[in-house]
Each structure stands twice: as C-alpha cells, then as structure tokens.
Structure 1
Amino acid sequence: MSWYAIDAVDRAFLRAKKALFEPFDFWKWVKLAVIIFLLGGAASNYGGSGTNYRMDSEDFGNNLPYVEPGQIPGFPSGMNGIDPYHMYFPEPAGVIIAVIVFLLLLALLISYISSIMEFVFVESLVKNEVKFWAYLGEFMGKGFYLLLVRLALGLVFLVFFAIAFLPLIPTILEEPSDVSVPVLIGGIFWFIVVLLILALIGVAINSFLSLAIPLSIYRNTGILSAFGLVFANFRKSWKEVIVYWFVRFLLSIGIAILAILLFGITMLFLGLTFLITDGILYFLFSALVSDPLVWILLIPFVLIELALIFGALLFLNVPLAVFMKYHLLSFLETWFVGAEIPFFDAPVQEPEKGLSEAEVNF
C-alpha cells in the first residue's frame, strides 16, 4: 500500500510556499482571502389588506349611548379616542412567512456562491493565478449542479433521519408520566447513535465530493460522473483513502491549534494597539467637544479598527486553507491515475529523441 496522503504533505507545503511567497503578492492574498471567505455567500404579502379591526359593544362597554338615525355618535365619557386594548391587529403570519422565505432564498444564494467558489479555489491554486471574475463566470454552471447535488443529499439525509425516528413516535406521544426512565435513556442513546452515523456518512460523502470537484474540472465531466469515478477508485484502493482521512484529521487538529494561536496573538496585539489609540483619541476629542459628541466621533475609528481586525484574520487564514487544499489536490494527483491536474509546478516534458524542436511545437 502506498502512503499517498503522507507524501502529499510535503508537496502541499512546497506548493503553498511557492504560490504564496515566491513572490509575495498582496492582491493575490486579498483575492484568495475573499474566495476562502465566500466558501464559508419586493413587496411582501401579509396575508390580507387593510385592518382587521372591528368595533362592537365590547369596545365601549355595555353603556352605549342612544344614537338618532343620521347622527354621528360621540365617544362615551371617560374615553379618549380608540381603546388600544380592544383593537384587532393584523395577524403576523404574513410577516413570519415573508421572513422565512427571504432567509431561505438568502441561504440558497450563499450556498450557490459557496459552490461556485469550490471550483474557483481549485482552479486558482492549480494554475497559481487568481482570476476571480473570469473563473466566477466560467464555473457558474458547475457550481449550480454542485448546489443541486448538495440539496438532494441534504434532503436524503433528512428523510433517513425521519425514518430512523419513526419507532420513537409512539413513545413521544405518550404522557410524560407514562414514559419510564429506561425508555427515555434508550431514546436519547438512539438519537445520539443516529446523529453519529449520519455525521460520519456525511463527512465521507463530502470528502468524495471535494475530490470529485477537480476531476469535474480537468476531465471535463459532470459532478455526479466525477463522484462516480472517485467512488469507483475508492472501492479499488479504500485503504489509501482511510489513511488519507486519518492524515486529514491530524492535519485539521494541527491547523486548528495553529489558527487559535495565530488568531489569539493577532487579536491581542491589535486589540491593545487600538485600545491605546482610542484612548488617545478620546482625550483629544474631549478637549474639543462635549462628552456625547466624543463617542459619536469615535464610531468611525472603531468601525475601521473592526474592519482591520477582520481583514487580518482573513489574511491569516489564507495559508492554512491553501495548504489544506493543496494537500487534497496532491493526494488526488497520485491516488487517482489519470487525474490530469495541470499543476503550475509540473515538470516540463522533454521532447522525444528524433524529433526537432519545430516538430514538437507543431
């Protein structure tokens, strides 16, 4: 058995070093930070028009004055206009439905952008050229199909989750006093087991999808066809994939610890720096204007500082995410024969003997 996942660590480190530091390109880092962050993107019908307010004898009590036909009644004594405690306001169902629909559409849009960025990120690292808008337009179709696959998988997992809990429905519908402690503990245990099994299956499928994305690009095939290729190769060499998952797990732990240290040090340094700066600005502004206006003047500086902290954290995340993606690509390059990933650092093939340079270029 070959140790493709372990060998890919060195290649990933060298490729990340070349891509990010040889030479260092600030705007390239900015575009990669945006891509990694995005991997992480009318009128409403309120269920009726007008008001549902109506007045009857309860609005004014039981002592309604007598009104002559054709006259305008006055309010009873002690009433200053309409009593708000007896008004009927429109039902909030329309607002709630509108908010839910908006959030669902927003979630779909963010998921679609994230799906496109999966392809954009791979292409940027393989070619070592970050052409954000060009790649965005190129992979909109593939990103849409990836979104559909993920939505279908999510629906399937939801159905399996519901089926797994069908035996527990009679127990849930029973009175709380009729449910015994062993049954309750068994239900909780079953809930945890089902979640763990579905989570493990989801992680495996997501790993296959991540490996299928480069194949979909460079073998010019659909995401489902690429997924089938990955799964077929997994059946032939599943041991290498198990080792790959284990190595990825260890790398993820190491990357998480490193990220916590880097983010913590950065937050501490920038936080102290901005705190001192804000203190100096506060005393300067206090000498010129009154106290309430001082805080208003400080708001733009605080917003700029928060933006700088957020940008710094995004920058620090770039080499970590790039290394992990290069590890995936480097593993796929050797594990899947015929992956045909055109890496930027691929060795230039020497022309065959007996052929002139003109014939080779032709």
Structure 2
Amino acid sequence: MSWNAVDALSDARAATQSLLLPFDPRTWAKLALVVFFVGTGTNASLTTNGSGTSGANVGPTLDFDPGTFSPGGAVPTFDTASLFTLVVGLLAVLLALFLLHSFLASVFEFVFVDNVTSPRVRLRTPFRTHLGDGTRLFAFKLILGAAVLSLFAVPVAAIVFGGIALGPGALLAVVPVLLVGVLAAFVVALVLGLTRDFVVPAMLVEDCGVLAGWRRVLPSMRAEWKEFALYVVIRIALNVLSGALLAVALALVGLVVAVPFVLLGAVVWAAFSPFAAALTTGTVLVGALVALYVVCLAAAGLFVTVPVAAYFRYYSLYFLARVDSDLALVARPDAPERPAERGPESGAADADSDAAGV
C-alpha cells in the first residue's frame, strides 16, 4: 500500500503557499467571498440575513391599553392566528434564504476548484461557466437531504397528526427509527464530503453530471479503498485539529478587532450620557458600532479561514491526482511540470479576457 493520503499533505501545503503568497488583498478578498459560501471544507457553513416585511395585520395584536397597563394589571394576550402567521412567514423566509445559500454554495464549489487550479482567481466568469454544474449538485444535495429528513419527519408527523399517544411503547418504537436516522445522516454527510472532494473534480474533468461523476470515481475507490479510507481518517483528524486552531484564531481576531470599537464606543457614550435628551442618540450610535463590529469580525473571520479552505481543497485534489491521474486537475509531484507559481504577475495572459479582474 502506498501512502498517497500522507504524501498529498505536503503537496497541498506547497500549493496553498503558492496561491496565497505573496499576499494580494484582491486575491484573498475573492477567495474569502467563495469561502463565505463553501465553508472551510470541515463543515457546512450558513450565513443568512433576515429581511422584514411591512403591511397591515402582519404582527401580533395586543388586547390591552398601553396607557392603562401596569405591572399589577392584566397580562397582554396575543392573537394566536396572527402569531402563527408571523412564525410561518419567518420560517418561509429562513427556508428561502437557506435554499438560496445552498444553491450558491453548490455553484461556488466549482468556482473554488476552478480558482485553485487556474493562474488567476476570478469569480464572474467561472460562476457563469459552472452554473449548470452547480444546479445539478444542488439538486443532488437537496434529494439526499430530503431523504434523511423524511426519516425524522415521518415518525414526528405520525405522532403529531396521527394522534399517537406518547407512552412507553411509542417511545420505544421511535428510538430505533431515530438511531437509523442518525446513522443515515452520518452516511449522507460522508457521501456529500466525498462528492465535494472527488466527484466535483471528476465532473469538471469528464464534463458530466453528479451521478456520472460518481460512476467515474467509484472504480478508483474500489481499487484503492485502503487509500481512500486513510484519506477519510486523516481528513477527520485534520477537521478536529483545524477546528480547534480556528476557534483560537477567531477568538484572538475578535479581541483585536474589538479594541478600536470599544474605545470609540466609550468615547461616544461618555460624550452623550451626561445629557438625558441625547441618551437615545448615544444608544443608537453605540448600537451602530456593535453592528459594524459584527460585520468587521465576520469579514476578518473569512480572511482567517481562507488558508484552511484552500489547503483542504488542494489536499483532495492532490490526493485524487495521485490515485487516479486521469482525474488530475493539478500536476502530480512526479510530473515534469509543476503548477504555475502564483504571484502579482501571474495570470497576465488572462488580462484581456477578464479586464475587471473579477
């Protein structure tokens, strides 16, 4: 047995350094945007921003007079129908945002591979090129997710809508179903991880769909099953290690980013707090600083995770190139030519085709 899963670690490190060094703010910013959607490769990431709507009778109605309300008086009651409508509306918005993010993440999986295997980091052209590939990957993930969700949803729906009493017998019957659902969720997570790491590159090489990509990769997995098993074990270990390191790094970044905001917030509060009439203005300004801090922290966090995401992406690509050279999107270590070095001058030949640099 060869040790391709181990040897690919050093290949990924060298390629990551070539991609990210010397530091280019535009390159890092574009990759940070990609990482916002695809995550670091250790887990799925989801960042959504809710949006409100305005209109008549969309919120809960209060059956009390605010002018006569006192702590010892009646407790306000909510209109159940209005509250239910509000909750359903919020859930629908969150679901729509989740699906939109998942769709964009599917497209950006291909954009990410395109960027780490091309002389330049671009966004618009690869996004348009791989829109169809991303749509197929999104449908594949949606079907798998719906299948796993049904394992949990069917027993819950039977209890809620079927009038099944929650007695000891019912609970004993639900436990095996939940265990099967948890096992299925683990299997689906593994399938999605292998799809991201190996099927996505196969789809690019073979210009095919997800199922055809799996059919292309499966023979290599069967022939080199020990190599792929070792790869999965190493990836799990790296996920744990990188997760711990990222947690520490993000905590330090949060403290560093917080320093100027804390100082500015203290100045604002000290300037407005002596004046009762201006207290609301000071509160609003401090609240705006807190919101700006959260945005800056999120942006800084994305920059911190860029090297981790690039490393994991290169690791899977170099491992795949070692076990199946026909699916190689990066040069093998024993190949006569190595991937082009990344630098400010790299990609000059593509300047005419992408003058905007996006």
Same fold (TM over 0.5): yes
Query: Which residue does the alignment assign to 1:80?
Result: none
- Do 1:263 and 1:313's aligned partners in 2 also have CA atoms closer than 8 Å? yes
Paired amino acid for 2:337: V
Corresponding residue SS for 2:117: helix
1:311 equivalenced with 2:310 (yes/no):
no
* Alignment-mate amino acid for residue 307 of structure 1: V
1:280 pairs, out of 267, 276, 281, with 267
Report whether the alignment pairs 1:37 with 2:23. no
Matched, 1:321 2:320: no
Q: Structure 1 residue 159: deviation in Å?
A: 4.7
Q: Which residue does the alignment assign to 1:152?
A: 143
Aligned pairs for 1:82-101 (under 5 A) are: 101=92
Q: Does 1:255 align with 2:242?
A: yes
Query: Is it true that 1:348 corresponds to 2:337 in the alignment?
Result: yes
The aligned runs of 1:36-55 (5 Å cut-off) are 36-39=35-38, 40=45
CA contact (8 A) 1:212 1:226 kept: yes
Which residue of structure 1 aligns with residue 194 of structure 2? Answer: 208
State the alpha-carbon separation in 2 of the partners of residues 136 and 11 from structure 1: 27
Aligned pair in 2 of structure 1 residues 287, 127: CA closer, same or farther (>3 Å)? same
Tell me what 2:217 maps to: 230
* Residue pair 2:320, 2:328 contacting (<8 A) in 1 also: no
How far residue 25 of structure 1 moved from its aligned partner, in angstroms, is: 0.5
* Matched positions, count: 298
Q: Distance in 1 between matches of 2:258 and 2:85?
A: 44
Task: For 2:254, give the aligned amino acid.
Answer: M
Alignment of 1:36-185 (within 5 A): 36-39=35-38, 40=45, 101-159=92-150, 175-176=165-166, 179=168, 184=171
Instruction: Give the distance between the partners of 1:287 and 1:218, measured in 2 at CA.
Output: 67
| 1:26 alignment partner in structure 2 | 25
1:28 is paired with a residue whose SS is helix
Deviation of residue 161 (structure 1)?
A: 5.5
Distance of aligned partners of 1:279 and 1:333 in 2 relative to their CA distance in 1, 3 Å threshold: same
Change over 3 Å in CA distance of 1:196–1:94 after alignment to 2: closer
The amino acid of 1:155's aligned partner reads A
Other structure's SS at 2:265 match = helix
Alpha-carbon shift at residue 153 of structure 1 (Å): 1.9
Other structure's SS at 1:24 match: coil
Rate the CA distance shift 1:89–1:193 in 2: closer, same or farther, 3 A: closer
In the alignment, does 2:177 pair up with 1:219? no
Contact 2:151 2:181 in 1 (8 A): no
**How many angstroms apart in 1 are the aligned matches of 2:211 and 2:138?**
12
Q: Is the 8 A contact 2:117 2:329 kept in 1?
A: yes
RMSD value over aligned CA atoms?
A: 3.5
Aligned to 2:252: 265
**How does the TM-score come out when normalised to structure 2?**
0.72
TM-aligned CA deviation for residue 206 of structure 1: 1.0
Residue deviations 1:89-114 (CA, integer Å, cap 9, x gap):
98777766665554443332222111
TM-score of the two chains, using structure 1 as the length reference = 0.71
Q: CA deviation at 1:18?
A: 1.1
Which amino acid is 1:293 matched to? T
Change (3 A) 1:92 1:24: closer
Residues 219 and 340 in structure 1, CA contact (< 8 A), matched pair in contact too: no
> What is the alpha-carbon distance in structure 2 between the residues aligned to residue 125 and residue 32 of structure 1?
9
Distance 1:103 1:303, change over 3 A: closer
Contact persistence 1:208–1:231 (CA under 8 A): no
User: 1:241 aligns to what SS in structure 2?
Assistant: helix
- Which residue pairs with 2:11 in the alignment? 11
- Over 3 Å counting, the alpha-carbon distance change for 1:268 and 1:136 in structure 2 is same
Indicate the structure (1 or 2) with the bigger Cα radius of gyration: 1
What is the CA–CA distance in structure 2 between the aligned matches of 1:273 and 1:256, rounded to whole Å?
A: 27
Give ranges in structure 1 of 5+ residues lacking alignment: 47-87, 350-362
Distance 1:28 1:343, change over 3 A: farther
CA 1:276–1:323 in 2, change beyond 3 Å: closer, same or farther?
A: same
